[in-house]
Structure 1
Amino acid sequence: MPLVMSKDEWSRIVSWTDSNRENPETVRRREYIRYLHETSQAMTKAWPNSLENVNKRNEELRRARIAAAEQANTDFYKQYVRRRREEQRRLMAGARDIIFKNKDAPKMLLRAVIESVTQKEREEQVKFLGELRRQAAQRKRDDDAEITRNAEEWNRLMATRKQRRFEVNKKYQREILDQAAEVAERRRREHETELRQQQQDNIKANEEMDTIKQFEEDFKEREKARIFRDMEQARREVEARRSECAARDRLDDRLIQVLQNTRARVDRRRKQTEKGIQEEKQRVLHAISMQLATGDAAREQHERDILDKAIKEQQLKEEARHESEVQKRRRMRAEREQLHLQQLRDEEERLHCLHTTRSWEMLNRFKNVELYEDYVSKLREEKHRKTQEHRADLLRLWKEREERDAAEVAARREFYGARAERLLREEERRLLEHAAALVQEARQQHRPEYPLHRAVHNYCKQQRLYSMPPLPRPLQLHFPKYAPEDRSGQAAPLDEAPPSTLAPPTTDTGKRDGLFQGAKSTSGGQDETEQAYKRRGSANGLQRKSAEEELTLPPISQTIDKSRGSPHSK
């Protein structure tokens, strides 16, 4: 399609498409952008928050902090050196002073100087204390005279005020007593009115309860007459009816409980009202006494107005509370009546349905007597079978329980009897071996052995390891196998190997008593952890590690007999 354009337009297109020449607009824009870039760079050099200036300033601050830290370290080191020199010089001077003072002559002279200085200070103190006592006595005389004058003036003022207060109190006492008597009479009339209303409410509640009980008794009589007319086959229904009677009795009990709670609430409210009246009376009397004590007529009038206002507000509150109590009792009585009527209607409907159902069931039973007898026989057989199964289960469980109890008793006797005795004997044997090792160590170190022998003797007496006296002749007939046994030398032999918790004592005497640094055993054995070592036994100094060798020593009794004789022979 041909295009029609002017010469200027064609020249512009030719100039644009000419590759040897740039567009002047583009050149001008590029120069303008370069100018803006150079100008912005020149401007940012003076900006405080530019990236270059921020980095430069941070570097200067870092160098300044480093220089300040170096200067502070230098100053601290110089100060530390100076302080150490002063401390060393002071210590040397103190040491010279101490050495000088510890000699005899300087000590005597120093004591004399100290005593003279002390006496001089004491004389100055005596003079100063005398001057203080003189000034205190003068101040006391001046204060006593001032107090006497003030007391006389105060007594005269109080006598005048007392006479005026007595006259004012006599004037207002009669008015306040009249007001108190009027308030008490009004309270008494209100209280009597409330008591009469409560008595009327109680009489009405008793009448309602009598009506309910009469209705229940009539209903029970009708039910009993109908139950006696029923057949022997209606035992289940009789039981259901008895449960219904029990529920009805519980309902009566609940109604009685509600009535009792109502009476208790009424009594409590009455007591609260009486208590409030007494408190109000006490408050009024207290206000009266406070008014008498103040003696200010204007304030008494203001307080009297406040008291009258409070009494009126209290009366309004009492009337509102009484009205709310009356409304609440009426509402509760209406609710109880509605609830009781609804329960009676529900019970009547239920009994009607029950009677209809029972009538249909009786007709069905009489219709098929043979089927009923067959059903009863099957029930009897099923009951007999279940009884036999239950009896067998009871016998089996009884036998299992007896066997389990017997096993538990036997295990308990073994645990607390023979096993406990074996553990006790093993513990005694190890303790005596440990004591023998300590005695041997003391003998080697040439230390006294008597404390060890005394400790062993006390332990044997406490644990009854010495032989007990023989049994009386009558008891010997019942215990023919008993014989006195002396276990102070060594414990009785074990029938079985002792458990791991009763390992022999350690031979590391340094670890045991801290008196001798013994060489640790390097015999073979697997190292055990600290927790495993703790589980091996209680931390009583008698356990050992598995890496330590056992210690075999003669009984302590033989060692004692050889050295000092038996401990109990003393």
Structure 2
Amino acid sequence: MESTWYLFPGQTLANTKISDRSHALHIRSKEWGKITSHLDRKKLKEQAIQREREHKQYLDDGSKRMIQNWENSLENIRKRKEEERLKHKEQKKEDRNQKFFELREEQEKIRKDYVDKMRKQIYMNTGNARELTSAFVTSEILYEREKQKDFKKLIDKHYEEEAAKYAQVVKENAEKELLENREKELKKRKKNKDHGDYLKQEIAQKSLRQQEEKQKQTEKEALDNIRAMEEMECLEKKLLEKKAKNMQELFGEKKKLLKQEEEKKIQLAKEESELDAVVAIYKETKHRIDCMKKAREKELRDEAAARQEAVAKLVMAHEKAKTEVEEERMKAAIAEKDAIEKKKLKKRAEYDKKMKEERFEDRKKFIEHEEVANKKQAEIRKWEMLNRYKTDEILKKYEESKRKQHWKKVLEYRKELLEQMSEEKALLLQEKEIEEFVTRSNFHNDDDSFFEYADEVLKLAKKRGRSTYPIEKVIMQYKKTNLLLPDKCEDNCENYITSKEAKSMSQQIFKKSQKNKNDRSCRCRQEEKKSVSN
């Protein structure tokens, strides 16, 4: 490996800069590969890893191919377990579905039974079946009422027996109480007698004690009165002495007060005399001051009046001079204004004359223009009249054609409506026939249901031992309402049973009577007809 500088012709290493020279490196490829091998280091590592991975994959594939037919290999064991798990899962799913279907069938059955039950209950509580239910309830009520009456009689009998027993007990207790009261009365009388004797003794002793105490009290009161009199006399003496002493003290104080009053009066008189002297002096001084004040005010008023008079004279003179100047100015202004007005009037007269001439000319031109316009307008009106006539003719033709078309459409629409009406009538007739057929079939079904329920109610009432009269009454009423009873037989019909005597007809007889509904004769006549036909 070596490096060399390349120079252009005429250049040497001495006379050229390093930046102007070309430098080259000569190296072998092996050594160059060693130098640049670090640049491909990542790529080489990846290639080595890839080779290792491919080798492992080759070994793994070979191992799998080797053991794929072994029964006890992990893969095959795992597959068998997975298949068993899936099979078990499917079996559980089938079992669950089977249980679900069984449960659904059971629920459907329960639902159906419940729906039938509810329908039966609804049927029992609606329409004619409700009347049967009410009749059955009435029979139950009658039965309960009879039982209640029996029970009430039993209760009344029991109450009577209890009342008799109670009366006997009360009577015995009253007799016992009477005997006890007599004994108590005797004891009470004896006790009261003993108590009365004791009270008499106590009263006698008490009266003696009271007399002794009263005597002692009188003696004590006499002594107290004597002592009180002595104390009163002593007290009166002391009061008199005290009163005399007080009178003396009051007399001395009164003297002192009178002396003080006299001194005060003398002092007041002296002060009043001094005050009167001062007031007189003040009054005289005030009078002199007022006189001086009034004189000064008069002098000031006179001076002010003189000044005002002088000022007024000056003002009057000034105003007079000013007024004269103003009058002169006004006269000059009026003269000037009159001259201006005269000039304006002259100009206005000239202007009016000119305008009058122009107005006459304009009027003449306007009249000429109006004549031309009137001629044009007359021509236009003539053409408009012609156009109107032509337009009216065209409009009449158009309206006539339009009216014909409208009438044609009306006739077509009427025809369609008549066809629709005929079709609707046919449909209505058909629907009416269908409705009558359905109604007849519904009547048969309703009758079957009613008589089936009636037989059930009758059996239940008979089983319970209840009265069947209300139920039979409802059945007969239903037959009368729905025209299910045969007409009345003749007098020679011995087998006919009236509605009052008849019991409930069975459902089978009712069905037989429905085979020929138009035959309204009684059953005996129907049997005769059958025998004749046979």
Tell me the TM-score normalized by structure 2. 0.22
Larger helix proportion of the pair: 2
User: Which of the pair has more CA radius of gyration?
Assistant: 2
Determine which structure has greater relative contact order: mean sequence separation of CA pairs < 8 Å that are 6+ residues apart, divided by chain length.
Answer: 2
